[in-house]
């Protein structure tokens, strides 16, 4: 029975975390399932597991294949189906100290699911000729997404920890010669909650993956510096600077921050494109939403458009 419960938890976590591919490009479903089950064994107490229903394990792999198809595919509206499951899981994660970092990670991502749900209701269904298969709802344009995110954030207050952390971390970004306004990336990634941890390994205010953190000089042991605001801010600023140097554009740099440098490079080359808007509909669904989300946050908090931010200085 315990095995079945762990499987249920693994599937539930994967249901809400597959879009979180920050800086990671390839996802192996078998490894993800095994990792989620190991995480459940190490971090959740037996009482919590006993409170969860069993799931037929024979259904696990088909379900995971379906999730992989949806989340690593192109269609934003497929995320809408995750909204209710995520809202059910969040209180479970918040109720236990061991899983509160995962709740801190999930909380800001409810916005993605809400926006996806809105698009599902407003995007016109494509015309289908007699005898044709039903077509998926097309992705909204990048410009439309920017408008929706600006509207979503119009009346939203600052996250609880933002007032202190923004003042503290802006000088770090400035010292790295990166626009200080980009510190608001932390609102999108973690809502300025340094405890935030993705079940697939991203951690801290800026949700850095282990390999990226090590590449940028952070230590993961004996104390993980991704959870420390100052070192993680320095690493995030350095990473953004590297990405801008490669892509010469802040939207593309942010897309690479979220989905991986290789993903952005391949799409630009494949479609002979130069801008984010040209490749946005073909990026992973989360990335399509991540970039306009960051843009809207910076516009709301700083009153400046992303395109107006200066290039990093050497």
For the full predicted model, state whether its pTM sits above 0.85.
Answer: no
pLDDT of the residue at 134: 73
Cα–Cα distance for residue pair 53/35, rounded to 1 Å: 20
pLDDT class for 73, splitting at 50, 70, 90?
Answer: low
How far apart, in Å, are the Cα atoms of 150 and each of 27, 51, 155? 31, 40, 10
The proportion of the chain whose per-residue pLDDT surpasses 90, expressed as a percent, equals 54
pLDDT by residue (tens digit) across 189-245?
999 999 998 766 889 999 999 999 999 999 999 999 999 999 999 999 999 999 999
The residue with greater pLDDT, 178 or 95, is: 178
Region of poorest pLDDT, from 50-59, 110-119, 265-274? 50-59
CB under 8 Å to 215, separation ≥6 — which residues? Answer: none
The residue with greater pLDDT, 112 or 232, is: 232
- Which residue ranges form the domains of the chain, and what is each CATH number? 1-16+28-72 (no CATH), 142-308 (1.10.530.10)
Number of Cβ within 10 Å of residue 106's Cβ equals: 24
pLDDT of the residue at 199: 67
The proportion of the chain whose per-residue pLDDT surpasses 70, expressed as a percent, equals 75
Most confident option among 11-25, 39-53, 130-144: 130-144
DSSP assignments along the chain, one per residue: -HHHHHHHHHHHHHHHHTT--TT-----HHHHHHHHHHHHHHHS-HHHHHTSPP--GGGHHHHHHHHHHHHSSS-GGGGGGGHHHHHHHHHHHHTSGGGHHHHHHHHHHHHHHHHHHHHHHHSPPPP--TTPPPPPPPPPPHHHHHHHHHHHHTTPPPPTTHHHHHHHHHHHHHHTTS-GGGGGHHHHHHTT-TT-B-TTS-BTTTTB-HHHHHHTT---SSS-GGGSHHHHHHHHHHHHHHHHHHHSSHHHHHHHHHH-HHHHHHHHHHTT--SHHHHGGGS-HHHHHHHHHHHHHHHHHHS--GGGSPPPP-
The residue with greater pLDDT, 88 or 103, is: 103
pLDDT of the residue at 5: 44
Average pLDDT score over the chain = 80
pLDDT class for 12, splitting at 50, 70, 90?
Answer: low
Cα–Cα distance for residue pair 17/79, rounded to 1 Å: 11
The residue with greater pLDDT, 5 or 272, is: 272
| Residue 313 predicted with pLDDT over 70 | yes
Number of Cβ within 10 Å of residue 81's Cβ equals: 14
pLDDT class for 29, splitting at 50, 70, 90?
Answer: very low
| Residue 262 predicted with pLDDT over 80 | yes
Region of poorest pLDDT, from 57-66, 114-123, 129-138, 249-258? 57-66
């Amino acid at each position: 029975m315990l095995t079945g419960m762990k499987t249920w938890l693994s599937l539930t976590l994967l249901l809400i975390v597959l879009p979180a591919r920050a800086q990671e490009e390839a996802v192996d479903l078998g490894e993800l399932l095994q990792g989620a089950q190991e995480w459940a064994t190490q971090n959740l107490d037996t009482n919590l597991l006993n409170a969860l229903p069993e799931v037929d394990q024979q259904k696990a792999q088909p379900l995971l294949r379906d999730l992989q198809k949806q989340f690593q595919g192109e269609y934003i509206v497929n995320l809408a189906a995750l909204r209710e499951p995520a809202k059910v899981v969040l209180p479970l994660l918040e109720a236990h100290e061991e899983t509160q970092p995962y709740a801190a990670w999930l909380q800001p991502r409810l916005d993605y699911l809400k926006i996806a749900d809105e698009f599902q209701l407003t995007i016109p269904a494509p015309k289908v000729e007699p005898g044709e298969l039903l077509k998926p709802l097309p992705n909204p344009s990048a410009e439309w997404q920017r408008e929706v995110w600006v509207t979503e954030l119009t009346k939203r207050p600052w996250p609880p920890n933002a007032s202190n952390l923004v003042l503290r971390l802006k000088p770090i970004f400035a010292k790295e010669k990166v626009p200080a306004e980009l510190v608001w990336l932390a609102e999108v990634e973690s809502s300025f909650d340094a405890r935030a941890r993705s079940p697939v390994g991203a951690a801290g205010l800026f949700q850095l993956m282990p390999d990226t953190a090590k590449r940028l000089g952070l230590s993961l042991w004996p104390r993980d510096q991704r959870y420390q605001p100052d070192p993680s801010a320095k690493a995030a600023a350095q990473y953004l600077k590297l990405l801008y140097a490669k892509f010469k554009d802040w939207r593309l740099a942010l897309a690479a921050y979220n989905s991986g440098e290789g993903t952005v490079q391949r799409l630009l080359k494949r479609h002979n494109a130069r801008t984010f808007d040209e490749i946005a509909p073909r990026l992973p669904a989360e990335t399509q939403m991540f970039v306009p989300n960051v843009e809207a946050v910076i516009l709301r908090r700083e009153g400046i458009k992303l395109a107006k931010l200066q290039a990093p200085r050497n």
